[in-house]
Chains A and B, each alone.
Chain A
Amino acid sequence: MKINYLRAGARFKLTRSAGLFALAASIISGTAAAEETFKVGVVTFLSGGAAESFGVPAMNGGKMLIKMLNEGGKLPAPYDQKGFGGLTIEAIEVDEAGGATKQVQEFRNLVQREEVDTVLGYVSSGDCLAIPPVADELKAFTILYDCGTPRVFEEGEYEYVFRTASHAAMDNISLAKYLKSRGIKADSYAGINQDYAWGQDSWADFSAAMEQYLPDAEQKTSLFPKIYAGQYGTEISALMRERADVVHSSLWGGDLQALVLQAGPRGLFKKSQVVLAAGDHVIPQLGKKMPDGVIIGARGVNGLAAKPNGGELLETLWAAYEEEYGTFPVQAPFRMWQAMLGLKMAVEKAMAENGGKKPNDEELAAAMTGLEWEAPSGTIRMTLGKGHQAIQPNAIGRTQWDAEKNAMTLVDIEYYSAECVNPPDGIAAVEWIKQGLPGAVCE
């Protein structure tokens, strides 16, 4: 009896899931057959540690922008054309969780099985290193939208791969510049960064930049807790004991929230000037609990640092995002927007050249190389890595709670032009800093 029951149950589950599957398939093929579309595989973290701070806000921002573009006429020129050059945009969402091995497989599936026109994605630098060789092998036009490692185009050269955001070197160069130009007391500095490539690279960049801008500053302890550690009691004690004037951190997401919440009551923010290389994205979650006077960057003129610049494009997207998701956009949606708007420009440029057909991968790559376009975060220029790696301006500011508006604001914002904080083409970022940033053009 029991066996029969189980089998019946299984059959029921099977038929039901088959029905669901058929339904899902019909929905998917239904939209595809409707008209000519431009398929974009969007890959970002939908689960795991980087989902809340980077993946989900970016995906939300992306979905919202695609909806607005498909309706057409919602954004100011040159983005007023419907979809991508009249083609309706169709997004296929993929979760980035699961490591580089899985992502390479999913990438192949997107390109070969789903036949997407572009893959746009990747937050993790491991994924950003693993994907480009495969993209070139498959001759598939690919945009890396978020990851920070400079290694992608410093170590390799790719025909079909582009990154539409600056790599991470400018985050820490800007911080050191800010400390110097604002005359902040920095006789000594310490660091707390996660023990993996991002944290190690960030600390290396920051200490190299400090050597250049504030050579007298004494380097004190540098702590490397494990990623997703979440508990920083001993690290905070160590930092308090060091009494460094400046404490640098490139923590992000839940780790950064935990650090701020645990270090706040113990007075670390009062004893030392804390500088956060990528700190803006935890402000919506922390709100008032983010102390005043913390110096933060946003990996570009993103989020609160972009707001004072205004402009129709920014205001439109900002308002739409706030209305849709009930919070203001942080760096993640900004980078998604600049990638998608760049893609739109590239598609439309390629279509203008090929007579209005849907462009193929070669045409897209040719159009994207060296492209320049306006994003909510300023002008994005593909100048590095032979026209495959973007540079963009950056901004650093201080947090200040606005009790009247009941919202966090950024004050004392300094803006840096792209050429000021990004290396010229052909030199590795960390080398460039060590050589004293030759050729930097600052306004």
Chain B
Amino acid sequence: MTNSRFFVPVCCVLIFAVLVGIGFIIPQWAMFLATMALAKGLVALGIVILMRAGLVSFGQGLYFCIGAYVSGLMANWTGITDIVLLSILGVLVSVILATICARLLSGYRGIFFAMLTLSLSMILYGALSKMSIIGGTDGLNVSAPTFLGYAPEGRALGFSLYFYTCLVSVIAGGLIRVYFNSERGLTALAIRDNELRVEYLGSSVKSAISSGYIMAAAVGGLGGVIAGLAIGHVDPEYAYWTTSGEFVFVAILSGFFSITAVFASSIVLEVVRSFSNLYFPNTWQLVLGVFLLIVILLLPNGLGSLFSKRRRKGGSE
């Protein structure tokens, strides 16, 4: 069954239907929380793509921020508020930048790769902080998006954003699943195990890593566009290393086997943070830390290992 070519599309449609169904019953705050969690999950998904090749990017905030600023500045300067157009623009700019950066980054591994990605995002942070014309460290406000000519308000706006976010998350998730199952996607796992052998087998490690990085940037930019429009405010903090750290965190929480787990972890993290922030205003960081510690102790391979028995075996990896 899982090998059928219809498996991924059918799963996607089912998950999408369930998500939208949930959207009709949950209160508005939860819908907003889910929108943000899915947007951040998209960025974390990018890290998961890289994690499969044994790389961790500490700088996905770069693309998150680019996506957010592209949508924010476009909306303010040109008056484009259509979310589809803004998404395309955000992804496009991210992909162009990533294509340039990938040439540099694909030659590095391990901590060097992580630190280089981190420094790139911090360069953007520094540059944006200095640009007082676009708000400097305080950032700028973004007006509410429209949806192919439809300009909702109130609950309809929240629902439309949620609907759109679910749609793009499911499509992106589905496409990446297909990529993971493809020959090229599986090469990433082989790179993780032994890079030299992959080269001897005739695959280019550099190009595999480059394409993974570019894909990660695309989903990162997409997540940024949605987050910027949903929050209604963008600031350089989007590119700050703590933001990137949060994405790494979601990726570690989910593990690199399941795509659903990435979004699920992102939602779990948001829920835990949201409630701990309210009920323990002075110690919410502690609550969050304890929660993560428990998850890491009990599920060293991430939440993804709960979904599939094949992966649970790999605990000693």
Contacts and interface: CB of A to CB of B under 8 A. Distances in A.
A47 interface: yes
| Dominant SS among interface residues on chain B | helix
Interface in A19-58: 21, 24, 28, 46-47
Contact of A99 (B33, B237, B270): B237
Contacts of A125: 138
Given A92-B278, A112-B28, A197-B132, A105 B36 contact: yes
A271 interface: no
A114 B29 CA distance: 10
Interface residues of A, number: 41
Interface in B221-239: 227, 231-233, 235, 237-238
Nearest to A7: B298
Nearest to B132: A200
A200 B33 CA distance: 34
A126 B237 contact: yes
B232 A134 contact: yes
A104 interface: yes
Nearest to A10: B298
Contacts of B54: none
B148 interface: no
B200 interface: no
A131 B180 CA distance: 40
B84 to A, nearest CB: 21
A108 interface: yes
A95 B282 contact: yes
Contacts of A95: 277, 281-282, 284
B29 A112 contact: yes
Given A129-B233, A137-B144, A101 B227 contact: yes
Contacts of A46: 281-282
Interface in B37-54: none
A149 to B, nearest CB: 6
B139 A129 contact: yes
Q: Which of B29, B139, B232, B279 has the most CB of A within 10 A?
A: B29
Interface in A39-97: 46-47, 92-95
Interface string A103-114: 011101101111
A94 B141 contact: no
Contacts of B232: 104, 130, 133-134, 137
Contacts of A195: 129-130
A94 B233 contact: no
A31 B288 CA distance: 26
A325 interface: no
Contacts of B282: 46-47, 93, 95
A342 B29 CA distance: 29
A151 interface: yes
| Dominant SS among interface residues on chain A | helix
B285 interface: yes
Given A6-B297, A13-B294, A112-B28, A196 B129 contact: yes
Nearest to B141: A133
Nearest to A125: B138
A173 B129 CA distance: 25
B63 to A, nearest CB: 16
B274 interface: yes
Contacts of A13: 294
B245 interface: no
A47 B36 contact: no
A326 interface: no
A94 B177 CA distance: 39
A100 B139 contact: yes
Given A109-B278, A113-B29, A126-B237, A104 B136 contact: no
Interface of B: 27-30, 32-33, 36, 129-130, 132, 135-141, 143-144, 153-154, 157, 227, 231-233, 235, 237-238, 240, 243, 270, 273-274, 277-279, 281-282, 284-285, 294, 297-298
Enumerate the 6 nearest inter-chain pairs by beta-carbon distance, A residue then B residue, closest first. A130-B233, A112-B29, A196-B137, A93-B281, A197-B138, A113-B29
Interface of A: 6-7, 10, 13, 21, 24, 28, 46-47, 92-95, 99-102, 104-106, 108-109, 111-114, 125-126, 129-130, 133-134, 137, 149, 151, 155-156, 195-197, 200
25 contacts: A46-B281, A93-B282, A95-B277, A95-B284, A99-B240, A101-B36, A101-B238, A104-B233, A105-B33, A106-B274, A109-B33, A111-B29, A112-B27, A129-B139, A129-B141, A130-B231, A130-B235, A133-B141, A133-B233, A134-B232, A137-B144, A137-B157, A137-B232, A195-B130, A197-B138
Given A102-B273, A197-B136, 20 more contacts: A7-B298, A10-B294, A47-B282, A92-B278, A95-B284, A99-B235, A99-B237, A100-B237, A101-B231, A101-B238, A104-B233, A106-B274, A109-B29, A109-B274, A111-B29, A126-B139, A126-B237, A137-B154, A156-B141, A197-B138
